[in-house]
């Protein structure tokens, strides 16, 4: 395991995500992930599993201080009072005094970005969160958010896998010293069916999932979120630090990007993508 440094935050490069994971699965699999070696756990208010994540961290036997914990404020909570209340509720559910990283989950035009960023800074100043950032922001929104924030933003969490080119957004984040956090790395299972990825995986005696996670982590300032509810795959997804993809293999995987490769773009939430 290695870390990514971004604007004062030191973030484990490989995280364990809990999107669409029921509480029972969280309680079963997250302690296993932590015991396997994962030290970065990602959740969100809208996932409705923060309480299970908090309990799973306790059940893991690994001290809370050794876990980098991320959660996200949902768009309906962006007005000031609701924002502060929702963060307090998240902390209670997560059974912790603070979280390591708090993100705005999606853009929301109904509340000014200045107010959203102001609330992020407020909870940080109150000691409820150590670092702040955004998710699903395009370059223009990132630039605006950085300009509005007293504290540095440390990451933009976005969909990123071999079938989508995020070079522009990545460069936009790096300009501000921010990392890019990749979710949906497996492209909803699509990567597992790709022949070229299969051939690269076979040449390394690895799984396609391992190759894709390795591809992400071999890019500068990129954090990858893995996710599985299958115990055997927890260890598999973590076992990606003892091999390396060649420059040619990295480029071949980049070459799989397609202008129609985006999967996550919900109406009413998605910005004008770069």
For the annotated binding site for substrate, the residues are 105
* Given 47, 160, 183, 184, the catalytic residue: 47
**Token output for 193:** 């069916």
With contact defined as beta carbons under 8 Å apart, do 273 and 262 qualify? yes
Give the separation between CA 134 and CA 64, rounded to whole angstroms: 23
Sequential DSSP letters for 116-150: HHHHHHHHHHTTSEEEEEEES--HHHHHHHHHH-S
Give the separation between CA 21 and CA 38, rounded to whole angstroms: 17
Residues of the binding site:
105
Sequential DSSP letters for 3-46: EEEETTEEEESEEEE-TT--HHHHHHHHHHHHHHT--EEE--GG
Q: Which residues pair with 179 in a beta bridge?
A: 155
**Number of alpha carbons in the 13 Å side-chain half-sphere of residue 32:** 16
> Could you tell me how far CA 59 lies from the centroid of its own chain?
23
The neighbour count for residue 176, using CB atoms within 10 Å, is: 18
With contact defined as beta carbons under 8 Å apart, do 169 and 274 qualify? yes
78 a catalytic residue: no
Give the separation between CA 26 and CA 155, rounded to whole angstroms: 24
With contact defined as beta carbons under 8 Å apart, do 166 and 135 qualify? no
Active site residues: 47
């Amino acid at each position: 395991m290695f870390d990514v440094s971004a604007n004062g935050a030191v973030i484990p490069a490989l995280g364990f995500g809990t999107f669409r994971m029921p509480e029972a699965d969280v309680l079963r699999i997250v302690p296993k992930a932590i015991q396997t070696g994962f030290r970065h756990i990602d959740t969100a208010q809208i996932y409705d599993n923060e309480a299970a994540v908090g309990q799973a961290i306790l059940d893991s036997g690994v001290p809370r201080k050794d876990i980098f914990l991320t959660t996200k404020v949902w768009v309906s909570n962006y007005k000031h009072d609701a924002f502060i209340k929702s963060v307090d509720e998240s902390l209670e559910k997560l059974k912790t005094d603070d979280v390591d990283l708090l993100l705005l989950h999606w853009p929301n035009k109904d509340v000014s970005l200045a107010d959203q960023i102001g609330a992020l800074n407020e909870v940080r100043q109150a000691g409820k969160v150590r670092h702040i950032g955004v998710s699903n922001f395009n370059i223009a929104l990132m630039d605006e958010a950085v300009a509005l924030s007293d504290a540095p933003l440390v990451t933009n969490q976005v969909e990123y896998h071999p079938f989508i080119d995020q070079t522009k957004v990545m460069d936009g984040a790096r300009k501000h010293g921010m990392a890019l956090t990749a979710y949906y790395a497996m492209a909803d299972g699509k990567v597992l069916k790709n022949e070229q990825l299969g051939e690269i995986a076979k040449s390394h005696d690895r799984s396609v999932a391992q190759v894709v996670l390795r591809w992400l982590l071999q890019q500068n300032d990129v954090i990858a979120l893995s996710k599985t509810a299958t115990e055997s795959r927890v260890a598999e997804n973590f076992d990606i630090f003892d091999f390396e993809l060649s420059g040619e293999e990295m480029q071949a995987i980049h070459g799989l990007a397609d202008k129609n490769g985006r999967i996550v773009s919900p109406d009413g939430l998605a910005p004008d993508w770069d």
